[in-house]
Amino acid sequence: MKLEAWQRFKQIALSPSPYGKREVAVALIVDSPWIPGFTGISHFDYFTLPDAWMKANLYMEDRFPSVIFIPGFWVEYGMATEPSAFGCPISWKEDSPPSIHPILHDISEVSRLRTPRPREDGLMPLVLHLYQHVEKELKGTGHHIKMVAARGPLALAAHLRGFTEFLIDLKLNPSETKRLLEITTETVIRWLQVQKDVLSEVEGILVLDDIVGFLSPEDYLEFAHPYLKAIFSSFEGMVKVYHNDSPITHLLGSLVEAGFHVLNFSHTMDIGEVSQRIGDRVTLMGNVPPLDLLVRGTPEEVKSFALDCIKKTQEGRNLLLSAGGGVSPGTSPENIDALVQALAAE
């Protein structure tokens, strides 16, 4: 992203206050589900041709100069990078991100798991190599890689074990499940750190974990909070963004203590309620419906909803106007323009 875009994002992210100066920006989480289709290339080209990848990301930045894309120039292979380092089989398709297949057929098998080596295992070394190449190519263009990302500990555990199986294990086999979460948490920390180490300007991290929203408040405190907190506390001085687009209204009071600065949350939650409950403690990033409006709606409908988000958050104080989740396949440029127009109308 442009340096001025990062500085604006950082200022909003680190300065939540219900009484502070109104400061709103459009910020969107974008990755491989949306970018290849939007830029007219196949996923195979996007994943395997560095020049095509670079061209697609630069086009996106140039087309929407006032939008802050998070994390920005993200080297990722869908959700496959972290699971691949454990040996999960990956199925590839030309027109969509890859699918991941679990490797733990019984929770007792967690005893054989080891934390991966990011410079050697799975797709991780390819990501690191491409990051180094990309950063060199970006020099002189005015763009910078300021943030790195990782799937969260519960999301990774669910990929290794299977979503349903992981939730059942959580209740029936808590000890083994906690051991699995210890391993995935260490993996997330190590993976973020190594990405940061191979780049020269990283000042922020993005952690994505929707599985947390499926837990009760009691289970969250036992099986999620300690691990999320361990991750965020490992990166002092960094801007910390947490994405979870599952319903988490019942967890807000505890979740806000995990140690992040920005919360990207589900469009199913009322942004006014979220703002009242925690908007003075973190910066909110949301909350326009990604499918019903950004994909299926008209620009007028998107703009109207965006203006409502601003109104409900004390006229947009410390709001990063965004989708209630990542940008979905099929999102039109006109609907992204409508988000920008909503700010201009204020």
What is the DSSP code string of 112-128? G-----TTTSTTHHHHH
Look at residues 47, 229, 226, 203 and name the one whose alpha carbon lies nearest to residue 195.
Answer: 203
What 3-state class would DSSP assign to 93? strand
Q: DSSP labels for 72-89?
A: SS----TT-HHHHTTT--
Give percent above pLDDT 90 in the chain.
Answer: 93
Give percent above pLDDT 70 in the chain.
Answer: 98
Name the pLDDT band for 344 (thresholds 50, 70, 90): confident
| Alpha carbons 262 and 281: distance in angstroms, whole number | 9
| Alpha carbons 204 and 240: distance in angstroms, whole number | 6
Instruction: Supply the pLDDT for residue 280.
Output: 85
| Alpha carbons 233 and 247: distance in angstroms, whole number | 24
From the number of C-beta atoms within 10 Å of its C-beta (0-12, 13-18, 19+), residue 344 rates as: exposed
* pLDDT at position 51 over 70: yes
pLDDT (mean) for 19-27? 73
Residue type, 6: W
3-345 adopts what CATH topology? Answer: TIM Barrel (3.20.20)
Distances (CA, A) of 102 to 90, 108, 309, 326: 9, 14, 39, 24
Residue spans per domain, the chain: 3-345
pLDDT (mean) for 338-342? 96
* pLDDT tens, residue by residue, 191-249: 999 999 999 999 999 999 999 999 999 999 999 999 999 999 999 999 999 999 999 99
Could you give the dihedral angle defined by the CA atoms of residues 83, 35, 232 and 25, in that order, rounded to the nearest 10 degrees?
-170
Instruction: Supply the pLDDT for residue 290.
Output: 96
pLDDT (mean) for 28-36? 96
How much is the mean pLDDT over the chain? 95
| Alpha carbons 161 and 173: distance in angstroms, whole number | 13
What 3-state class would DSSP assign to 346? coil
* pLDDT tens, residue by residue, 131-189: 999 999 998 899 999 999 999 999 999 999 999 999 999 999 999 999 999 999 999 99
147 sits in which H/E element: strand 147-151
Query: Are 288 and 302 a contacting pair, CB within 8 Å?
Result: yes
Contacts of 327 (CB under 8 A, 6+ apart): 28, 29, 30, 33, 34, 290, 294, 336
Look at residues 67, 97, 70, 143 and name the one whose alpha carbon lies nearest to residue 335.
Answer: 67
Instruction: Supply the pLDDT for residue 318.
Output: 80
Instruction: Supply the pLDDT for residue 114.
Output: 96
pLDDT (mean) for 27-41? 96
Instruction: Supply the pLDDT for residue 11.
Output: 92
CA atoms within 13 A on the CB side of 80: 25
